[in-house]
Structure 1
């Protein structure tokens, strides 16, 4: 982590000559405030969902929208805000996102009904773009060595704040009511906005000419919404059900229209030839497949297994979370900065391959030893190191370094949207097998996840090296 002390940027930057840059530690700390404000929005409210349902008198199906709409908004805002920041500047984009999140938080605090609360949660969800925007800010202001470590620090929050944020959210809900969580988020958001206004350079990004492609943004947003509901419908109604087929057809048609429109735009949201390029395609596929393979295991299969009293380990929900969620999150917080630092030594691609390969081995181990609670615990802890630490750090860094030079906000934004898609697909694919665990056991679901992770490893081998990766000149071509 000594790399973070360097403040002599060597990466591509649009700073005017003589522009003063913030110190690396100060810049990372300020961006971390924004990232944490998003993460607490995502994780602290999870244990409060039953209380929200009781407050508004709705069932579990309705209250689930509190989270689903939040993550849907995040998937939409990433590509949109990432690209828009190429025109209006990173700091302005960060302040817009935080402003929308703060407004949504106030709406949640004052909501007299669930629909108003859901509107506020959708607005809060746009804060997911803070991750992509922060990575771009780091790349534009830090040296290569410092960039890797800084990405690791921010990526470490992607899996939760050391695993204790969910516990704190539950405790606050019990003692102070669920509205207290929104007060904490609002205070953090306002603090982050003031810090960003003071520290993040105000210069325009100066990397894009022309105008923002709002037609492309509308079509891509519609595509992501249709795709999300297509996956949800396939999970609930079946893949051959008429609503699912209609949603699938609508999703494909919308994507076709999006491609046709983008080909005719002078400054497209996402140039179609970039979508077919090796850097963009491999990064997106690696993210989707890895999330589909790993996320479902860490946040679904193993949790159900640990709480199943007949065919699993029979643990209480609190003990299940403490044993199978907290260690992985805590190890991710510790290991992600180390993984970022190592990228300067071994290269971004090798770090990605280490994360993908070791995550696959951990899933295979969990499938082999599915009946042993302690060995399963050890394998999930390993995922905290190699998935939360190595993979999340390297894939987020690569999304910035491999993004098209004329549109540096494009790939980080799309990659951010890919996280939600991969997580949803993973749960959808393994849920039917987990539901039949009484007949076939949990190992089948774990083996399916391992198979998906194996495909992710193969894709990671095709990810190209960034042109400014100092290790690319080595004989091994890291």
Structure 2
């Protein structure tokens, strides 16, 4: 089967509207991941639940994304990207309304599960761009849509801080805000994104989706809950062991199915594999920055000897917002880098900026200017990294697998974020200040933050290794017609990689 990848006749205004609509949709879905982070305490108090139970408000979204993103990414490739986008956005609107109206924790978690399914928007959006944007504009368009992910995650923290800054704050206002953004994104996609032109058809590999979903659930559940369960507890170790077994089952299933959800040759193809490893590390760095800085600046200096005693509002607006804005501004720069120098250069710069930013935080987190400046550098690093990864994937897989390939990469970033959250939480909980006044809850020692930031620097240093050793020079998004099967395409690209 031949798959036409050439976009329609050039219409700059039409392209701009499509990119705007998809960027808005990607920004909104990224907001859903970090939205409840600043208000977990309010939710726990309002619903009268425990800290362990309320953590499911964030975990449920992550697990839902892990299950639905690959399935919906492939479904969009097969049956139409715009209808799938519209349906997913409709589910996100419904989930936001459920979360805003919830009067119990189970209902709130249901709403968060529905919101998490919308993570499939990102790979679907990149597949639409590949159809609708001219080749010379494609890297910039993908980078802009990718850059909105980091911006949206930061914006959610800031907006939630603003909405819940009063003494009588109601956490539900944050979910009503999410409902409004989701509805606007839905309308933008309905009216600005053209109908799907390419459909591969075929059967949906539900068995592959089921085994992949089970694998990811068993992997991400102990990562996100390990701090509460205990890292050496039977539940944690048992879940990791079960994840390993299910990985084998999933691979065996995909090798036997006639039309697999994930082509194993594509999955282990070196550029795709390297992009996914980079996604884990960049996602880790983004969350380590968000959580590390947010917790750091809220520490009461009078009791701990460090920190700024900032409120949630000040932490969001003064310390996190600058980095979020820079991440958005850096995305078109990342697109130009990808277009003119290739994603390898963009990923190398992301690694350099990230290592420098986290190193700066580790060495000096006692001055406002240092914390803000380092956060800005890390924000640019995340944006460059997110700009490079879709370009690597688009250059390495045939058109009809772009949705599932970017879906897997989206999961890798979510996995990295989950690991980042778990690592930061565990480090700060394990290194606490001794001899605090009676009645004062345990507070993290400054050494915990220093260690967190050094680990973030190390993560970005590993991104540099991936960029230099795992990717070939000059790789740019593929724009020609693709008629070879995925296996032949991967094999030919491997020969190109070996020759580079």
Q: Residues 439, 147 of structure 1: CA spacing in aligned structure 2 closer, same or farther, 3 A cutoff?
A: closer
Matched, 1:391 2:391: no
The equivalent of 2:418 in structure 1 is: 424
| Partner Cα separation in structure 2 for residue 221 and residue 362 of structure 1 | 35
| Partner Cα separation in structure 1 for residue 157 and residue 421 of structure 2 | 20
- Aligned-residue Cα RMSD (Å) equals 3.0
Describe the superposition over 1:92-142 as per-residue Cα deviations: whole angstroms up to 9, x where unpaired.
110121122122233334434221221121011111111111111112211
| Partner Cα separation in structure 1 for residue 26 and residue 269 of structure 2 | 30
Describe the superposition over 1:312-362 as per-residue Cα deviations: whole angstroms up to 9, x where unpaired.
223313333333311111111111122213322222221121111221122
Q: Residues 171, 366 of structure 1: CA spacing in aligned structure 2 closer, same or farther, 3 A cutoff?
A: closer
2:360 to 346, 359, 365: 365
Structure 1 counterpart SS, 2:401 = coil
2:51 to 48, 52, 60: 60
1:155 to 126, 146, 153: 146
| Partner Cα separation in structure 1 for residue 368 and residue 162 of structure 2 | 27
The equivalent of 2:434 in structure 1 is: none
In the TM superposition, residue 381 of structure 1 has moved relative to its aligned partner by 1.5
Q: Residues 33, 117 of structure 1: CA spacing in aligned structure 2 closer, same or farther, 3 A cutoff?
A: same
1:229 to 213, 221, 227: 221
Q: Is the 8 A contact 1:328 1:385 kept in 2?
A: yes
Q: Is the 8 A contact 1:70 1:125 kept in 2?
A: yes
The equivalent of 2:372 in structure 1 is: 377
1:183-202 equivalent positions in 2, closer than 5 A: 183-202=176-195
Describe the superposition over 1:359-408 as per-residue Cα deviations: whole angstroms up to 9, x where unpaired.
11222232233455533432222112222x21122223333333344422
1:123 to 111, 114, 126: 114
Matched, 1:287 2:269: no
2:263 to 271, 277, 293: 271
Q: Residues 320, 353 of structure 1: CA spacing in aligned structure 2 closer, same or farther, 3 A cutoff?
A: same
| Partner Cα separation in structure 2 for residue 354 and residue 95 of structure 1 | 35
| Partner Cα separation in structure 2 for residue 133 and residue 439 of structure 1 | 42
| Partner Cα separation in structure 1 for residue 47 and residue 450 of structure 2 | 39
In the TM superposition, residue 220 of structure 1 has moved relative to its aligned partner by 0.8
Unaligned stretches of 5+ residues in structure 1:
1-10
| Partner Cα separation in structure 2 for residue 407 and residue 25 of structure 1 | 25
Matched, 1:456 2:463: yes
| Partner Cα separation in structure 2 for residue 193 and residue 432 of structure 1 | 38
In the TM superposition, residue 262 of structure 1 has moved relative to its aligned partner by 0.4
Describe the superposition over 1:212-254 as per-residue Cα deviations: whole angstroms up to 9, x where unpaired.
1111111111111111112134433443322222111110111
In the TM superposition, residue 439 of structure 1 has moved relative to its aligned partner by 8.0
Describe the superposition over 1:46-82 as per-residue Cα deviations: whole angstroms up to 9, x where unpaired.
4443443333222333222222212221232221111
Q: Residues 297, 179 of structure 1: CA spacing in aligned structure 2 closer, same or farther, 3 A cutoff?
A: closer
| Partner Cα separation in structure 2 for residue 161 and residue 77 of structure 1 | 20
Give the ranges of 4+ consecutive aligned residues of structure 1 lying more than 6 Å apart after TM superposition.
17-22
The equivalent of 1:306 in structure 2 is: 297
How many residue pairs get aligned? The number is 459
Return 105-114 or 27-36, whichever deviates more.
105-114
Q: Is the 8 A contact 1:219 1:258 kept in 2?
A: yes
Return 249-258 or 367-376, whichever deviates more.
367-376
In the TM superposition, residue 291 of structure 1 has moved relative to its aligned partner by 2.5
